[in-house]
């Protein structure tokens, strides 16, 4: 292999010859610390524990081995794969899929043409925009807005501190949290103990599991379902039906085609519906109006 090192210019490691690799595709391997910018024709690999204090670009994919780090902006025409505890201390622009290992971190805004998969306890400290899906593993977090053309999935204890906009479904697993508004062109579903601290708008259904909470208004193009002890701390509007299980609560006005409210459920506002099915001990603090 041959290194070409240029003062104040990018550092290259040229690919082995075809006879050595059996392939004509170029690749770059960084195996020692450098404070130079790096520009790779083809794929790029940064070895375990190596620090790069500069910008990194590649016309192919980039692989960061465990505990490697990049202090400058990162741009790849292909995928970006970050192994466990790898770090990027700037913005990242990914022309393919973004895969983040356990406790890996990006401290900047992130864009990906493909999907984004975040490992356990991984972090993005900035906005995340992807033209595909977002999958967040247990304990992972995004401190910024999330925009995805496809579905957004939060696993247990995952957190988003910003608004979420999805071209498909949004799902929150147990004890996950969104501190911002959620807009979905599909459906929104929440698991036990999960919460949204903001308004939720869905073209499809909105489903709250036991103990889940929306601290804002909820508007669904389909149905809204509240399981036991779940809450909407605002108004609820549904093009379809609203079904409230035992001890669920809506802290505002409710409007839908049909309302079904079970024992101990509470509506702290007016109810407007074409059809009402309420248990006798359902609490309604406002007026009940049939369309």
Q: Is the model's pLDDT at 4 over the cut of 90?
A: no
Per-residue pLDDT at 92: 98
Q: How far apart are the two ends of the chain, measured CA to CA in Å?
A: 78
89 and 215 together in one domain? no
Q: How far apart are CA 261 and CA 250, in angstroms?
A: 11
- For 95-113, write each residue's pLDDT tens digit: 999 999 999 999 999 999 9
Neighbour-count burial of 25, counting CB atoms closer than 10 A to its CB (0-12 exposed, 13-18 middle, 19+ buried): exposed
Residue 179 in any domain: the answer is no
- Cβ contact 166:151 at 8 Å: yes
* Whether pLDDT at 14 is above 70: no
User: Which residues, 6 or more positions from 53, have their beta carbon under 8 angstroms from its beta carbon?
Assistant: 33, 34, 35, 71, 72
Residues 200 and 144 in one domain: no
* Best CA proximity match to 99, nearest among 129, 52, 63, 71: 63
Q: Would you say residue 170 lies in a domain?
A: no
pTM equals 0.89
Domain count, the chain: 2
Helix (H) or strand (E) holding 21: helix 18-21
The answer to whether residues 22 and 146 belong to one domain is yes
What is the distance between the alpha carbons of residues 87 and 103, in angstroms, rounded to a whole number?
Answer: 9
The better pLDDT of the pair 225, 285 is held by 225
pLDDT level of residue 18 (50, 70, 90 thresholds): very low
Yes or no: say if 275 and 256 are a contact pair by the CB < 8 Å rule: no
pLDDT at 143 over 50: yes
Answer yes or no: are the C-beta atoms of 213 and 231 closer than 8 Å: yes
- Assess if residue 112 is contained within a domain: yes
3-state helix, strand, coil in the chain (%, to 5): 0, 45, 55
Q: Is residue 103 part of a domain?
A: yes
Domain that residue 270 falls in? 184-291
Tell me the per-residue pLDDT of 145-192, one tens digit each, with 9 for 90 and over: 999 999 999 999 999 999 999 999 999 999 999 999 999 999 999 999
H helix or E strand, kind and range, residue 159:
strand 159-160
Are residues 261 and 193 part of one domain?
yes
The one-character DSSP state at 11 is B
Please state, in angstroms and as integers, the Cα–Cα distance from residue 71 to each residue in 77, 144, 189, 220, 229, following that order: 19, 20, 38, 43, 47
| 122 closest CA partner among 158, 96, 92 | 158
Partnered with residue 69 across adjacent β-strands are 51, 87
Last residue of a domain, one of 104, 133, 150: 150
Residue 278 falls inside a structural domain? yes
In a domain, 260, yes or no: yes
Whether residues 134 and 251 fall in one domain? no
Q: How far apart are CA 71 and CA 89, in angstroms?
A: 5
Residue 176 covered by a domain: no
């Amino acid at each position: 292999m041959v290194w070409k090192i240029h003062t104040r210019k990018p550092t290259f490691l040229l690919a082995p010859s075809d006879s050595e690799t059996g392939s004509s595709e170029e690749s770059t391997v960084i195996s020692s610390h450098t404070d130079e910018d790096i520009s790779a024709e083809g794929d790029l690999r940064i070895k375990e524990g190596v620090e790069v204090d500069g910008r990194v670009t590649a016309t192919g994919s980039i692989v960061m081995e465990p505990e490697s780090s990049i202090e400058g902006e990162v741009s790849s025409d292909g995928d970006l794969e970050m192994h466990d505890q790898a770090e990027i201390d700037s913005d990242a622009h990914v022309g393919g899929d973004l895969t983040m290992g356990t406790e890996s971190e990006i401290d900047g805004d992130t864009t990906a043409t493909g999907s984004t998969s975040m490992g356990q306890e991984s972090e993005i400290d900035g906005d995340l925009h992807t033209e595909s899906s977002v999958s967040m593993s247990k304990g992972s977090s995004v401190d910024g807005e999330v925009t995805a053309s496809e579905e957004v999935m939060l696993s247990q204890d995952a957190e988003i501190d910003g608004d979420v906009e999805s071209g498909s479904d949004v799902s929150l697993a147990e004890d996950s949290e969104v501190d911002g508004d959620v807009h979905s062109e599909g459906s929104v579903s929440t698991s036990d103990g999960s919460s949204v601290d903001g308004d939720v708008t869905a073209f499809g259904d909105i489903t709250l599991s036991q103990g889940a909470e929306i601290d804002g208004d909820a508007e669904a193009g389909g149905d809204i379902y509240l399981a036991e002890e779940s809450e909407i701390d605002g108004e609820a509007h549904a093009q379809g039906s609203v079904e409230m299980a035992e001890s669920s609560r809506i802290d505002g006005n409710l409007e839908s085609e049909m309302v079904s409210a079970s024992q101990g459920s509470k509506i702290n506002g007016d109810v407007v519906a074409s059809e009402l099915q309420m248990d006798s001990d359902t609490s309604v603090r406002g007026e009940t109006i049939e369309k």
